Amino acid sequence: MAVCIENLRIHYKTLVDEWDKKREQRDLNKLRSTVEQLKTAFIEVSFLPTSKSHDLKDEIFVMQRHTLEISVLLSVLEENADNFERSMLQLKHYYADKTKAHSNISRSPVMCEMLGLNLMYLLSSNNLSQFHELFLSKESPPSPYYAYFIETLLCSAREAIAKSLERAYRTVSKKSAQKLLLFSGPEAESRLDCYAVQKGWKMNEARNAFIFDVDESYVKDRTVDCESLMDKQFGYAKQLDMIV
């Protein structure tokens, strides 16, 4: 066991030493190789007898967390979105579990940066729906000061999508409208109803759908293809890449 732990420390020091170099001096291939070696080593250590001291468990936890943080940032430098998503998914467990199993460990100094990067990733990949849900979750906002700009962004997205609905379609179901207009949570339906009233949309109770007074030159279909419209309308989010 002692040998495994010592090897873990050696690999971790190699990773940190390389990462602490100036950006232009880092060897990205070496960093990625060391990250993968460490991930394997962490798995091996997890299968060792559970007689590890509390201090040792905390040490391993911090090493795992920092390794994944480096992996996230390394993925950005590699421009590898798949690696970024995988590393971020793993990393969020360490942020969420910290208070439960390792309450004496300080919060990571780069946690806000990591969560902020994840929000930017969701924006740049056109995933506004998940972005909205994540932002509204308990763990998500990197800072409460994000709220104003996030709400402004979502309102702009909602208005752009609503305008397209009004111009292009005669009807859209409430279910599709709720999804397309990014209304989520327990009050989603009531918020959608209020929004529809503000927009002056008529309601067909029998079909549970909104009816629009549209310019015939823009009408393409009598009903909305939800998935197709989402693909088209969410494309505007590519412009948000400039935020990063």
> Which tokens belong to 59?
């040490």
Q: Please tell me the pTM assigned to this model.
A: 0.60
Helix ranges restricted to H, the chain: 2-19, 28-46, 54-78, 81-101, 111-124, 128-136, 147-168, 174-180, 188-199, 226-233
Closest C-alpha to 154, from 175, 185, 110:
185
- Residue 192 CA to residue 209 CA, distance in Å, equals 12
Which range is most confident: 15-24, 100-109, 143-152? 15-24
pLDDT at 37: 94
Please state, in angstroms and rounded to a whole number, the distance separating the CA atoms of residues 71 and 65.
10
| pLDDT tens-digit series, residues 149-197 | 777 777 888 888 898 888 888 899 999 999 888 887 788 899 999 999 9
Please report the pLDDT score of residue 236 as a whole number: 45
- pLDDT, average across residues 76-102: 85
Least confident of 4-13, 121-130, 189-198: 121-130
pLDDT at 233 over 70: no
How many Å apart are CA 108 and CA 244, to the nearest integer? 22
CA distance linking residue 136 with residue 130, whole number of Å: 10
Distance in angstroms (rounded) separating the CA atoms of residues 130 and 230: 13
